[in-house]
Amino acid sequence: MADPQYILPNDIGVASLDCREAFGLLSPTERLYAHHLSRAAWYGGLVVLLQTSPEAPHIYALLSRLFRAQDPEQLKECALKEGLTEDEYQEKLERLVLGSRAAQEHPEEVGGLWQVCGDLMFSLEPQQRHLGLGNEGTTTYFSENCTLEDAKLAQSFLDSQNLSAYNTRLFKGVDADGKPCFEVRLASILREETTPDSDMTPKLKSYEFEGCQFQVTRGDYSPLLQKVVQHLEKAKAYAANGLQEHMLSQYIESFTQGSIDAHKKGSRYWIQDKGPIVESYIGFIESYRDPFGSRGEFEGFVAVVNKSMSAKFERLVESAEQLLKELPWPPAFEKDKFLTPDFTSLDVLTFAGSGIPAGINIPNYDDLRQKDGFKNVSLGNVLAVAYATQREKLTFLEEEDKDLYIRWKGPSFEVQVGLHELLGHGSGKLFVQDEKGAFNFDQNTVINPETGEQIRSWYRSGETWDSKFSTIASSYEECRAESVGLYLCLHPRVLEIFGLDGPEAEDVVYVNWLNMVRAGLLGLEFYTPETSSWRQAHMQARFVILRVLLEAGEGLVTVVPTTGSDGRPDARVRLDRHKIRSVGKPALERFLRRLQVLKSTGDVAAGRALYQGYSAVTDAAPENFLALRETVLLRKEARKLIVQPNTCLEGSQVQLLEYDASAAGLIRSFSERFPEDGPLLEDVLTGLAKADAHFWRNPTVVAAPRA
């Protein structure tokens, strides 16, 4: 029997993002700006296929061909005529694909695509069923022969040359003497061409580093980035101000040349562009899915301001400097000056990437965050649909908690997202020694509150949080931000800002903490016992917090195995609301201080020991988490699929195209996303994948049962 964690039900929930009202309030010029930014984001989002697995681009091309020839209803009708039942239509994919109109019209092309990806998409061979480096999973950020040691060596090389890993991939080969050699390939439109005024041209060469050859090249994803840049150029004509024009010019330079420095310059303009009606960001942003934690997945979003919710976040920003003083670390560990950021609630029009978050704090560049600031974004229409839960599907809670949870989950999540993004990701200082040897802290007076001694470690020039803490950086930082949210939601001023007081405020605090400990248990779905590894940064972070609160003792949190009404294993999470302040807060205070001190000082060894210790999943009593993991998998609810709208030009007017909240609606949204160049994009994606196919082998696979 196949492992249930790799199986999704046919009746998976589907929700539709509603941004009709927000879009309707835009002027014609703002709509044109949003339209071209959305087109840039969607074209760039296809890069993610090439950053995931060798077969991902072929799967996309296969499905695109299938649904260009027949929409879901036509395909279903065809399948039923072929003798498939309603259930078989959803399950017997090979028969459906090879019997489709697309296969009848282009048998060699469709058959070839199926041959490349058919077995791989169903493979349950350990190395192919989840993301990972080397023998621990699959990734196309690295060639298959790259090891963790290779990734560390490459990071050291990049640091030595002051090159960012964000827009790179790493491919390993062997030179004529049998020594390992590496290609560091930058994402850019330009390939071999050089431009004398570019900061990238001198870096495109061969290097000798620690006995290995490194060749820096560029041109990764070139045809897709050409499409991105075409629409960024068009968007410039409708920019609201000079900051937006300069921002887009620098993004264009970045994607053309492969320059992260240019993207940083664009991000500086973006930070300065306060309160735009149409908000956006685009580039190689989040490093969650790089097994080493340094390379950014392409992401682009376009959204419209929700003014009423934004007003609450603005009040939170106004109180930020005072609230930062409440955090449990000495002032020397906080930024020298709080750079007041933008914090807006947005209704998403477009979010291209591997998933849609509830909130964002960007840019992720450490030097910009320390010196220039950042922006916070809460995605209101995502919160409204993606995190809604039906009572009958609420797992692991006591019956008396369920109604309270449903009533206050939304408001509590708004509070948590606000604190997580603004005062979680937005807090804390990194101790740095620059290239001239100067420190940004006083070595003589700053004392480590954990040891009582002077600071003994810090970040050297070229080192960043991601490069130094690598594989744990993303999850560690998410844990720190989530902990800040829990800690500060107890503050009366925070609750007042969100319009909460009295018993209702206490209910929101309770549900926020209850949601976190429940999420910690749910996170076990994303733990892989075979490799003792976590596959999702946020869920690992929430499990760590659950462990910290369990460790606090005194009955604050308990996780109890039970038997469900259906006779199958179940569990209950219990939180004593009367002990949140007396037991939970001090425990979180100690943990948060340790997290920040180790981050500030760049103490990788101690940070890794702390975080991996709490991340360990064992069968130790009393919780027996490995056994509980099986219960979590048995009771898991699949995450909703999100249907997003499209925009299209009709003459000089931009129209919003919306779709049903159904699987068919989701398919139609993708089919109509690239109406003019769908076939070309299929060829581009498969061509790019084939060009690099030699970096990954196709071993015999163990497939899930299928027809």
List all residues 6 or more positions away from 195 whose beta carbon is below 8 Å from its beta carbon.
201, 257
Query: Vertex 64, ends 63 and 70: CA angle to 5°?
Result: 90
Beta bridge partners of 209: 212
Reported in sequence order, the residue ranges of 454-568 that DSSP labels E, i.e. its strands, are 527-528, 533-534, 557-563
Annotated binding site: 420, 425, 478
Instruction: Give catalytic status of residue 318 as yes or no.
Output: no
Cis previous bond, 223, omega within 30: no
Nearest to 342 by CA among 302, 378, 300, 384: 378
- The phi and psi torsions of 283 (rounded to 5 degrees) equal 150, -165
The answer for 283, left when phi > 0, alpha when psi is -120 to 50, beta otherwise, is left
Burial of 433 (0-12, 13-18, 19+ CB in 10 A): middle
Distance CA 213, CA 691 (A): 22
3 state DSSP class of 444: coil
Q: Which residue has the tokens 């470690």?
A: 457
Length of the chain: 707
Rounded Cα distance between 630 and 557, Å, is: 21
Name the token pair of 74: 């036509």
Residue bearing tokens 């609810």: 637
Give the active site residue among 144, 286, 421, 477.
421
Q: Judge whether 246 and 254 are in contact, CB under 8 Å.
A: no
Q: Is the peptide bond before 330 cis (omega within 30 degrees of 0)?
A: no
The secondary structure of 522-549, three-state, reads HHHHHEECCCCEECCHHHHHHHHHHHHH
Q: Which residues are annotated as a binding site for Zn(2+)?
A: 420, 425, 478
CA distance 383 to 515: 15
Closest C-alpha to 315, from 499, 497, 495: 497
Q: Is 81 exposed, middle or buried (0-12, 13-18, 19+ CB in 10 A)?
A: exposed
* Active site members: 421
